[in-house]
Amino acid sequence: MALMDDAGRDLVSAAVTEAESATSGEIVTVLAEASDGYTDVALLWAAGAAFTAMSVFAAFPEPFLDTWDALFAGWGHQWTTGELASMVIALGLLKFLGVMLVQQWAPLKFALIPGPVKTVRVHDQAVRQFKVGARGRTTGHTGVLIYLSMREHRAEIVADESIAAKVPAEVWGEAMGDMLAHIAKGRVAEGLAVGIRDVGHVLAEHFPRGADDVNELPDRLIEL
């Protein structure tokens, strides 16, 4: 499913072109549906639920056994050790599979992911995309990546080494705030365009465009 329509893509590309008209810096924009599959987190939730169910059964077996006897076994059934062990294993397995199944619904799956985990995964993916798409790919090492991950509701701005040496990371806070204010209202393309504008102003101040400057990185939006 496309994350943005053609009008939005054109708006973002035009914003990059305009921002770069006053700077030798190069801005790359990446829009991702999600930064990770979080399979490990889903497995932890399922394993935790299974262990909890088995622990509750071990501590209070009578309600489970009485219900089973009433439904299936009939009166006077005597539980053997093997049957009890099988019941514990089956209960844990069913709980594990059930929790894994409900997490196939993306809104629930992402709601169960702790915020700090999302933040780390988005940052790591932004750095990976920066290494692939921007770092060291410009003559003066002046690439900047604006990365937006929709499922996690998080964004990152990653700058090349020449820029990082002159521009403290906190300077990007204004661009991030302006961008997310629009995105929070559902105006994703407009938010990216505003963030690009703010980043362009910072780059123009520290890295003005030279007479022989050429466009070294694509202005188009990259969608993952």
pLDDT at 38: 92
Dist CA 69 CA 82 (whole Å): 16
Residue type for position 79 = W
Identify the CATH assignment for 6-37+115-223 out of 3.90.1200.10, 3.40.50.1980, 3.40.50.300, 3.10.310.50: 3.10.310.50
How much of the chain, in percent, has pLDDT values that exceed 90?
Answer: 30
Q: Where are the domains of the chain?
A: 6-37+115-223, 39-111
d(CA 7, CA 118): 29
Binning pLDDT at 50, 70 and 90, where does residue 222 land? Answer: confident
pLDDT band at 115 (very low <50, low <70, confident <90, very high): very high
Lowest mean pLDDT, pick from 27-41, 44-58, 84-98, 203-217: 203-217
Order of strands, edge to edge, in the sheet holding 222-223? 154-159, 143-149, 26-32, 222-223
Residue 17: both structure tokens together: 């072109």
Maximum Cα–Cα distance across the chain = 94
Cβ partners under 8 Å of residue 21, min gap 6: 209
Confidence (pLDDT) at 209: 81
